[in-house]
Chain A
Amino acid sequence: MATTAWVQQQFEQLTRTRVWRSIFRRGPARTNRTRSLAIFGNFSLHILPVKVRDKSLGVRATYYLGSISFFLFVVLSVTGILLMLYYHPAVPDAYRDMKDLVYVVSNGVLLRNLHRLAAQAMVVAVFWHMFHVFYRGGYKPPHEFNWVVGVGLLMVTLFLSYTGYLLPWDQLAFWAITVGTNIISYVPVMGRPLRFLLLGGHIIGQNALLRFYVLHCVILPLAAVGLIGMHFWRIQKDGGLTVRNEHERNE
């Protein structure tokens, strides 16, 4: 008990120092004013509303599926950037890098497993999030546009997962992408040019791997970050989550 009090005291002292104040510009968050400042005075937190309805905080209101989707995206970004350090988007070096990750790189297996697991989980979480929002009526006015942004995020998530599928350059990757990209060629008129644009050629080879790599590591993550920012910002601007009770919905 004495130790806890001592730690607390030291922390209080720390929050009074000039350096702390210069960073956070507020004291300990004990009043509602300083608690508000903790949100809108913080660069990364100010996308959140200062207050939330207590109804929307309950686990059953959201199952935190949106947050889980976002956190999975964070995990994927971190593990993905680390994986990029060991990866060459070239044929057949890409496959050799996979073998290196398994046999040479420290914790390479864990890194790859984490990235793959989080990717699968994110697809599940995003779908589940969408269905949950639908059944809760979360798409209703004034949230219409945020639902559309969400559909965009679902597409980006699927494309992110799909482009990542080719990168190990093993049999599984090659043939899964073959099956998928063959479907594109059935699009009327635009089909073959579209497939050519995506693959950088008529076959899945070096160019396709490079394009999928750039899509997976640069273009799609940027699109995702933009849309996620918009999605969060709109929640606040649309007046917060509206969680309807069962009886309210049927009225």
Chain B
Amino acid sequence: MSETNKYEVGFSSDATKDPRRIVFITRNTSAKVKGEAGPQLMSYPHLILREAIVFQVLTIILVAVALFWDAPLEQLANPQLTPNPAKAPWYFLGLQELLHYFPPIVAGVLIPTLVVLGLVVIPYFEINIQGEPLWSGNRRRRALILVGVTAALTVLLAVYDAWTVLIPTLLVAALALLPYVQQANPSRFVQFLLSRTVPWWVMTWFIAVALTLTMVGTFFRGPGWSWVWPWR
């Protein structure tokens, strides 16, 4: 890891010819972490050129879309006239959908706080460092835990009628169980699932639920937060 010295330490008796220098080079004093070795390229021009192309393509796409897709503008704000349904911006509609099922303190405060905290602590838990798949070790025990957790979640979500959360949860659980059920000559897809880690499954579950809730909140909710079909 350390750099090899190019100069050897030595003494010369003739100080008029060779000025004496004493150099101390201490190891690991840089704030920079030495990364893995491997072929490297100069940032200029390789990175700069790619970034410039990305920026240009992005700008062209943005202008092209913005020419034809108008930003919405409704009537002047009127506190006396409540639209039904009143919807938050799309990226908060997942939360609004949760508010429909759970008490506000849970859906509006507890769950978002836990999600943010969960995201922050991801790198500080020893998760996924070894990259150990879910289906390693005692498979039977892990299958029992998985079924147990899914059953508990199902009961909890069923009590609150939160079936837009329940459906993606069950789908992801079924996918996670697939490699356990189908052990004899697994297909490539099952092999892929087999090598997935626990954090991978948790994140995939989170994304599946968040996407479903956001889609449902955006397209499938009408007056009084009732179910509507967007094409009707």
Contacts and interface: CB of A to CB of B under 8 A. Distances in A.
B38 interface: yes
Contact of B76 (A32, A95, A239): A95
Candidate in B32, B35, B59 with the most chain A CB atoms within 10 angstroms: B35
B74 A172 contact: yes
B168 to A, nearest CB: 15
Interface stretch (B10-18, B114-122, B142-150, B170-178): B114-122
A174 B128 contact: no
A140 B200 CA distance: 14
Interface in A74-95: 74-75, 91-92, 95
B71 A250 contact: no
Interface string B59-88: 100110111011111111111011100111
B66 A110 contact: yes
Nearest to A95: B76
Contact of B35 (A162, A242, A250): A242
Contacts of B77: 91-92, 95, 169-171, 173-174
A151 B67 contact: no
Nearest to B44: A38
Contacts of B46: 52, 54, 57
Contact of B122 (A147, A173, A238): A147
Given A95-B76, A134-B122, A170-B76, A114 B62 contact: yes
15 contacts: A35-B45, A38-B44, A53-B40, A57-B46, A75-B58, A95-B77, A110-B63, A115-B71, A140-B123, A162-B89, A170-B73, A174-B78, A179-B87, A237-B32, A240-B35
Interface of A: 29, 32, 35-36, 38-39, 45, 48-55, 57, 64, 67-68, 71-72, 74-75, 91-92, 95, 98-99, 102, 109-110, 112-118, 120-121, 123, 127, 130-131, 134-135, 137, 139-145, 147-148, 151, 154-155, 158, 161-162, 165, 168-176, 178-180, 183, 186-188, 203-204, 236-240, 242, 249-251
Interface of B: 31-36, 38-48, 50-51, 54-55, 58-59, 62-63, 65-67, 69-79, 81-83, 86-92, 95-96, 99, 104-105, 108-109, 116, 119-120, 122-124, 128-129, 131, 133, 195, 200, 203, 207
Complex A-B, nearest 8 residue pairs according to Cβ-Cβ distance, in ascending order = A239-B35, A144-B123, A174-B77, A183-B108, A239-B33, A116-B71, A113-B66, A175-B86
